[in-house]
Chains A and B, each alone.
Chain A
């Protein structure tokens, strides 16, 4: 099987879907002539031309809205945000227009659009460029939120997202773009809303998604060395949440740590924590632990910025707590 980067996996997904369906277009800042700020769209302008790979001015609210309107009228745009940090300028368009258009029109309209780009902390970028914003998108009904952690998942999930008739927020991460993984040559799709068990185990459940998966895998390895058999549930899609996969695992292991790089207050992690305590209360042998970023803006200083994010050490500490070891 070919080994490719996360970046290439996303590019392949867009390329294949653009070849398959002429209604699919890509628009955003630097996606065309510059080949993408993170080179994700490299070569697509040459292949599909400027009619389908559209360089926009730096106007997030405006081009996000134009993408939404085009989707309502019959195109299937992929809107690339250079990063999710800048999507805050377009938040009104996503939450008030994309998410609600179907509802407000009594089902007359749909908005088949994908908003994608890097989300979450990178390195040395300080507060405005290192934010994990999935919780505010998962908060609004009408949106789908997808957050893959491997090249294989990224490709299959992005293809499904492009084919989906709803607005999909597709979260990538700058630091993940160079991660490598096996991706088959033949076409495949991964359904939205289905978690994946990345490691089977019986002693403790880790629930995570996106970039922190690697930290969780390392922590699980260290736990294995200590004789603890951890299970890892990779959500892959945040909304709709695969609740059954989560509950099945927790009911099996009876202990749970949720690892999420968002801020903790009203977050994806804390919401899942509430769901588990409500639906698996009788199965839990310990209170659920949550490992998130600290409730602070991201500092520039590297030591500090690492200290505010989830780490293998923090995950292990949380695991030991729920395991009472």
Chain B
């Protein structure tokens, strides 16, 4: 990775997106504590480099993104307005899904973000279906399909990889290995600990990627996209990452040690990029603070927007079920 090859504007965009997600998630947790948000809330803190680095390699006019229920980061990286995201968490009619979906079901069809899905692994074949459409119409796009280490043992993951390969679908399966499927360490429930092996079973090129470094994620995703297009094959990436918070809000994460958490926090994706940019003379402390303040203000504004937005009317119960 040679940082000086990238221009400052691009790097600042990556940094800003990661910061925005971090601040958005922190604020969401705070709003959850204030009971403005209910139900499940799966935070993306610690994993920001995965969504930001990989989605930066896309052209969302032709490419698509589908992910699991830990979907706030992907939606924001795809360009969803933070107001629409926060309003959805608040269950307001101005939310991206009009308050019908909540945290797990962020959709931004205009930006080709085809959802958050609440059933572990259930969106994996859906993503391949979107890729089938791309291939059917001879379009140029690819689909990024994100899921966690918990989803990789679901039947539909294996079914879909097989079909993606026999039909050569333009899709990149991204296993975000954040080490824990809910409270279970991935090594306890997997016969292999290197998930790229699972690609090999289906003759799909696969490799592991350091998901704490946004530039690495960006470059490896670019490499995967090139492979999809030039070699006409799906790709599987295991992007190794770490979530700082519990699985959802009710999880105190007692299944891991403080030391383990601290170890990963020392590889924080935002800190890494900040340091690299500073070392390359591309970022001053003042610039970082300014950017951070900007993100905090955007997030504060999203809370104001959500607070002031209307509840969905009762008659909305019967809307948006049938086309």
Contacts and interface: CB of A to CB of B under 8 A. Distances in A.
B95 interface: yes
Interface in A133-155: 141-142, 144
A303 interface: no
B125 A66 contact: yes
A73 B137 CA distance: 11
B96 interface: yes
B142 interface: no
A85 to B, nearest CB: 17
Given A62-B125, A66-B125, A57 B130 contact: no
Kindly name the residue among A25, A66, A71, A74 whose own CB sees the greatest number of chain B CB atoms within 10 A. Answer: A66
B117 interface: yes
In this complex, the member of B100, B105, B320 whose beta carbon has the largest number of chain A beta carbons within 10 angstroms is B320
Interface stretch (B28-36, B155-163, B274-282): B155-163
A69 B132 contact: yes
Given A57-B163, A104-B105, A65 B133 contact: no
Contacts of B155: 59, 61-62
B119 A25 contact: no
Given A75-B136, A97-B117, A108 B321 contact: no
Interface stretch (B38-46, B107-115, B173-181): B107-115
Interface in B110-138: 114-115, 117-119, 122-134, 136-137
Given A56-B163, A102-B321, A70 B129 contact: yes
B322 interface: yes
B198 to A, nearest CB: 15
Interface residues of B, number: 46
Given A102-B320, A112-B323, A69 B129 contact: yes
Nearest to A50: B167
Contacts of B319: 107
Contacts of A25: 136
B98 interface: yes
A105 B128 contact: no
A101 interface: yes
B129 A73 contact: yes
A109 B114 contact: yes
A51 interface: yes
A94 to B, nearest CB: 11
Contacts of B66: 69
A110 B99 CA distance: 17
Contacts, number: 143
Given A70-B130, A93-B122, A141 B109 contact: no
A70 B125 CA distance: 10
B97 interface: yes
B126 A68 contact: yes
Contact of B119 (A56, A96, A112): A96
B64 interface: yes
A106 B97 contact: yes
Contact of B128 (A54, A69, A96): A69
A72 B101 contact: no
Nearest to B99: A106
Contacts of B130: 69-70, 72-73
A142 B321 CA distance: 5
Nearest to A64: B125
A92 interface: yes
B192 interface: no
Interface string B137-159: 10000000000000000011001
Contacts of A56: 163
A303 to B, nearest CB: 38
Contact of A65 (B124, B162, B322): B124
A56 B164 CA distance: 11
A285 interface: no
B132 A70 contact: yes
A296 to B, nearest CB: 29
A295 interface: no
Given A59-B162, A142-B321, A104 B129 contact: no
A75 B105 CA distance: 22
B166 interface: yes
A84 to B, nearest CB: 19
B129 A67 contact: yes
A61 B159 contact: yes
6 contacts: A59-B163, A62-B156, A70-B132, A73-B134, A108-B109, A142-B321
- Which 5 pairs from chain A and chain B are nearest by CB? A69-B129, A65-B125, A62-B159, A106-B98, A106-B97
Given A106-B107, A107-B320, 19 more contacts: A51-B136, A59-B155, A61-B159, A62-B125, A62-B162, A69-B127, A69-B133, A70-B136, A71-B129, A74-B137, A92-B119, A93-B156, A96-B122, A105-B107, A106-B98, A106-B101, A106-B320, A108-B108, A109-B109
Interface of A: 25, 51, 54, 56-57, 59, 61-75, 92-93, 96-97, 101-112, 141-142, 144, 165-166
